Chains A and B, each alone.
Chain A
């Protein structure tokens, strides 16, 4: 009875705390500007199925893709067992689904066990890639400190989670063979779990009954505590991608990558210059001064902010970025990490000031992302192409360039020269428009 109450309290606390954090994340994302991404639902659904569910873009790099697939499939399938654990926890049963499902139950749990072994291999391989092999994109400077610790903690938590599963099932197998398991005895000698029926006796076969019961309970409670712990860790971690990958791909840009947005605010001004009879529409929010481009996270769209929360810092973007490859300061991954960092700081500032943002003398541009990073970009879209969850770092870079150029007039000198040439003679170089057809005779 005590354990039932403890479980229910844990369940409620874990769920409520998670809900509170999710609300904060949603509030933060909604600080972004409006953008309609509800068009073409069928196309969006298909894209989400292929890219998020089907991991299509991961397979551009087969080795990490397969290792990741082990963890991903194991994680998804284990949720079935989690339903039973929650049911058992609330009702005080033990393996409640076993007698009802019979052979299918044995198959299901065995399948989960096999996937868990693969996931076990995956986590060890991933830990090795980060800490021993030091795969270049996983040890870049923007990961120093918290991001590196975050990544290792996630892998270690997954490793522990799998250990708990095998403690629980392995000890239960030995207990069952001694007729002492709390699972209903169906008259067979074993629970029939593919992996645990082998490793259970090998690891725990020599222990006494009391020790086995303790190990089984440690496994069970450890597993469920890890699940709730992990759930509540997500909103603080890059690991949030396991949830956000799906909406992020669903709401992704469906246009050709080369097509950049045309700023409507600029269109209205340009139309007014070219056609004096044109009356620009009234601004949606007359209180707020109009700003061209992005200086702060609130100048970005909600999708760009969702992008920042969806980034799991894998660094595929950065490893394909021509600027980064040639030693420039720009890293598209760092653009996403800095955007999220600023958004989190912005949100915490609001929390501390009754929901109103109080000027902290900082902004996304300058304090989190520097002009040098922005000016290194070749707008080649390699980062956008590389992202397994369709994040668009380039759109943030471009919006910030717009602010630097149109609001701060702080473009690099040579670019100002190029602008002047286009304005004066319709070409980025100093050639007269009247000479435009001279190539014919040269």
Chain B
């Protein structure tokens, strides 16, 4: 396997070059073992398409999203303002993220604090690259398989991005099955609003179990996700039903990377 080519903004600066786009990896993408695989899949695709991208590496820090959703506006704005200083220091114009929470926060909540960037989610970048012919997918290992996509709240309802992940997956020649609660009516995985970092309140069921049950009812081969937290929640849900042998939970980027055998 080819080694991943990853340069930091500092590397680019040292060589006097400017990348096309900054890849905002996010905390989950940097530290969570499952999400790191998605990060690598995104990098493989970017490498394959010869996209000049950079990461911030050790200069990246939490966007502040979980703090903000949990009510800690101070911590959020402290994070936001120091991130904006770093981003502006490098003259960043365009950002792609692998996480809908980072995506939403950078795109919507940084501008009024002085951080103005064009921010896209990785499924939107994949869609752009497919449309412009920078990457091509023909058939591949998912041909004929049944895939259902779980909409991340902060990509879908939060920012009205419903079609990008679906248009990307159409290229897989797979059967795309929709859950009853999809797109604007999509059910949350249960991780948003900082729930990822706390025990659920008292109830009679876990949200991810409710959601995974709905996905499994379609008898899919793959539950596709576009968010590291959804990925965790749906993976746990599949384990709850002892289906991890027959049903895979994969990020849209992993589907593309695997289909292209990257």
Contact = CB atoms under 8 A, between A and B. Distances in A.
A419 B79 CA distance: 11
A323 B205 CA distance: 9
Interface in B71-129: 71-75, 77-79, 81-82, 104, 108-109, 112-113
A380 B71 contact: no
A186 B166 CA distance: 67
A202 B185 CA distance: 49
Interface string A359-396: 00000000000001001111111101100000000000
A288 interface: no
Contact of A263 (B67, B73, B203): B73
B108 A255 contact: yes
Contacts of B153: 258, 378-382
Contacts of A372: 201-202
A170 interface: no
A404 B160 contact: no
A422 B62 contact: yes
Nearest to A275: B81
A333 interface: no
Contact of A385 (B184, B199, B207): B184
A146 interface: no
B19 interface: no
Nearest to A420: B75
Contact of A418 (B8, B70, B109, B158): B70
Nearest to B31: A431
A207 interface: no
A429 B31 contact: yes
Interface residues of B, number: 71
B139 interface: no
A59 B258 CA distance: 40
Contacts of B6: 437, 440
A108 interface: no
B66 A428 contact: yes
A293 interface: yes
A402 B67 CA distance: 10
A414 B66 CA distance: 12
A330 interface: yes
Contacts of B67: 418-419, 422
A405 B75 CA distance: 11
Contacts of A380: 153, 157, 188, 192-193
B105 to A, nearest CB: 8
A433 interface: yes
Given A328-B201, A437-B55, A442-B36, A401 B109 contact: no
A229 interface: no
Interface in B134-165: 153-154, 157-160
B52 interface: no
B81 A274 contact: yes
Contact of B70 (A419, A429, A439): A419
B75 to A, nearest CB: 6
B47 to A, nearest CB: 12
B202 A379 contact: no
B198 A378 contact: no
Interface stretch (A46-54, A86-94, A176-184, A264-272): A264-272
Which of B36, B81, B188 has the most chain A CB atoms inside 10 A of its CB? B188
A36 interface: no
B39 A322 contact: no
Contact of A406 (B71, B195, B207): B71
Interface in A398-442: 398, 401-406, 411-412, 414-415, 417-419, 422-423, 426-429, 431, 433-440, 442
A329 B201 contact: yes
Contact of B57 (A270, A325, A436): A436
B27 interface: yes
A187 interface: no
Nearest to A427: B27
B192 A415 contact: no
A328 B203 CA distance: 4
Contact of B190 (A255, A267, A378): A378
A353 interface: no
A320 interface: yes
Nearest to A375: B201
B25 interface: yes
Contact of B202 (A256, A273, A329, A417): A329
| Interface core residue of A267, A412, A418 (most chain B CB under 10 Å) | A418
Interface in B46-72: 55, 57-58, 60-62, 64, 66-72
A323 B73 contact: no
Contacts of B13: none
A329 B198 CA distance: 16
B200 A328 contact: yes
Nearest to A371: B201
A44 to B, nearest CB: 18
Interface in A153-196: none
A224 B136 CA distance: 70
Contact of B197 (A262, A330, A398, A418): A418
26 contacts: A260-B69, A262-B112, A266-B74, A270-B78, A274-B78, A326-B205, A326-B206, A326-B209, A372-B201, A376-B203, A379-B69, A379-B192, A379-B194, A381-B158, A382-B188, A384-B157, A385-B185, A405-B72, A414-B197, A415-B194, A418-B66, A418-B194, A426-B79, A427-B30, A431-B31, A435-B31
Given A274-B81, A427-B62, A433-B58, 11 more contacts: A256-B159, A262-B112, A320-B185, A323-B203, A327-B205, A372-B201, A379-B194, A418-B198, A419-B75, A429-B27, A437-B6
6 closest A-B pairs by CB: A258-B158, A379-B193, A401-B71, A327-B204, A426-B61, A259-B108
